[in-house]
Amino acid sequence: MAEGYTLGIDVGTQGLKVVVYNISTHEIVKKAGVAYDIIKTSVPGRAEQNPQTWIAALTTAVVEALDGLDRGCVKALAVSGQQHGLVVLGEGDEVLRPAKLWCDTESAAEAEELSAKFGWKLVPSFTITKLLWLQRHEPDTYAATRCVLLPHDYVNWWLTGRKIMELGDASGTGVLDVEGRRWDTAAMDAVDARVRELFPPLVDSPDQAIGAVRPEVAAQLGLPAGVLVGPGSGDNAMSALGAGAAADGAIVVSLGTSATIFAKSPTAILDPTGIICPFCDATGNYLPLLCTLNCTRVLEEVREAFELDHEKLTQLAEADAAGPGCGGVTWLPYLIGERTPCWPHASGALLGLRPGCLRPGLLYRAAMEGATLSLLGGFRRMVAAGLRPGAQLRLVGGGAKNRLWKQVVADAFGMEVVLPAEPDSAALGAALQAAAAFEGATVSDYVSQHSPPMLDQVIKPNPEHRAAYEEALARFEALAQQLFAQA
């Protein structure tokens, strides 16, 4: 068996993480991370980052993660990245402007226009809506653009010198023929004649390295010559690998700044309403996915308002007499608008309040349930569209650390909840892909054979709470439609 390490690098919205994976023991031996933020702005809907921020964070985190280890044993690495972000390069490959991120909703009007042209619902997150926004609002920058990359593609280019996209991340551009696994040139042409020239070639194989780290970059990172670079993918596809979701129907829920639910499927699940994204995964299969914009930040609002920590708020929520369903209180959590459903101009709303309802524990639970019910409705839609779910749900992300939230998810979904032992599932997924590329294995086989361990704890649903959550979901969806569907 090969000796050595692989690196998994996750380029997130709030920071970059690196894990060092031992190929022999199949364990993470070191971790490091660097925090950063979105560029501060007063422009409504704008969310941008400078790509150089990612490179600086990567350099710092890799050096820190390898401190005390034999750097000569690093064999391969791969990159997971926040999806949808628009990075535009000009002549000489210079970055022309800050990257517009997945949570940037300035392109809401362009999303509506392209939805009508394409015949399916695009949300402002999709990269092509941001490119059309650039053409409309910054025509000089658009004219100077020579290449469009996604965040993880940009890091791959910096590492290897190759400009490519792989299918999992390219699924979030809005111009990929997901079933055909190729660029949708008709959709590109419907936007602008130049678009075909701007997107790089696709790499269809998730199992082969795209190249090696450039010598000058290897020297900067303290890596040996010839370190392989896997194709990487978007953070959700990588998180599926890191959570061990290798079997058909394996479901992952991620509770982070945004929330996602996705599942491995042997076939594409197409949804013209745009509620379910028909993404490719990182194994050559598919990853139907739903993403909401408002998750842990909603609970942060309660914490800040009452100046209590999350543990105290959890205790109060557990003890609150309202219990599951919050006694009819519904929190529609759309604080920054919403991606799913595509309501960029929606706002948060607290409904069903009675005297005495403004209790910190009740509001904390209502925030938790609102974020969960947003995902549950999408999951029901996936199943109706043909997904055959497994018996368990894997829970990842910062919210998965909260004991009450774990139980809320189990009760609302009516499924057993298990937790991967490694919380940084996207970074681990990237390290597993890199290990598969180094050993010449398929990613799917490698993850199946070396499945990441789960914690011993299994959270079982309480059948006594099922009716309360069914009622809460019906109330949540009806109120959301009444308030925002026609906005």
Residues serving a catalytic function are 235
For 359, counting Cβ atoms within 10 Å of its Cβ (0-12 exposed, 13-18 middle, 19+ buried), the class is middle
* Residues ≥6 apart with Cβ < 8 Å to 84: 101, 102, 125, 126, 127, 130, 150, 172, 173
Question: Is there a contact between 84 and 101 (Cβ–Cβ < 8 Å)?
Answer: yes
Q: What is the 3-state secondary structure (H, E, C) of the chain?
A: CCCCEEEEEEECCCEEEEEEEECCCCEEEEEEEEECCCCCCCCCCCCEECHHHHHHHHHHHHHHHCCCCCHHHEEEEEEEECCCCEEEECHHHCECCCEECCCCCCCHHHHHHHHHHHCCCCCCCCHHHHHHHHHHHCHHHHHHCCEEECHHHHHHHHHHCCCCEEHHHHHHHCCEECCCCEECHHHHHHHCCCHHHHCCCEECCCCCCCEECCHHHHHHHCCCCCCEECCCEEHHHHHHHHCCCCCCCCEEEEECCCEEEEECECCCCCCCCCCCEEEECCCCCEEEEEEECCCHHHHHHHHHHHCCCHHHHHHHHHHCCCCCCHHHCEEECCECEECCCCECCCCCEEECCCCCCCCHHHHHHHHHHHHHHHHHHHHHHHHHCCCCCCCEEEEECHHHHCHHHHHHHHHHHCCEEEEECCCCHHHHHHHHHHHHHHHCCCHHHHHHHCCCCEEEEEECCCHHHHHHHHHHHHHHHHHHHHHHCCC
Question: Is there a contact between 72 and 66 (Cβ–Cβ < 8 Å)?
Answer: no
* Residues ≥6 apart with Cβ < 8 Å to 8: 18, 19, 21, 77, 78, 80, 238, 242, 426, 427, 428, 429, 430, 431, 432, 433, 434
54's tokens = 């990612």
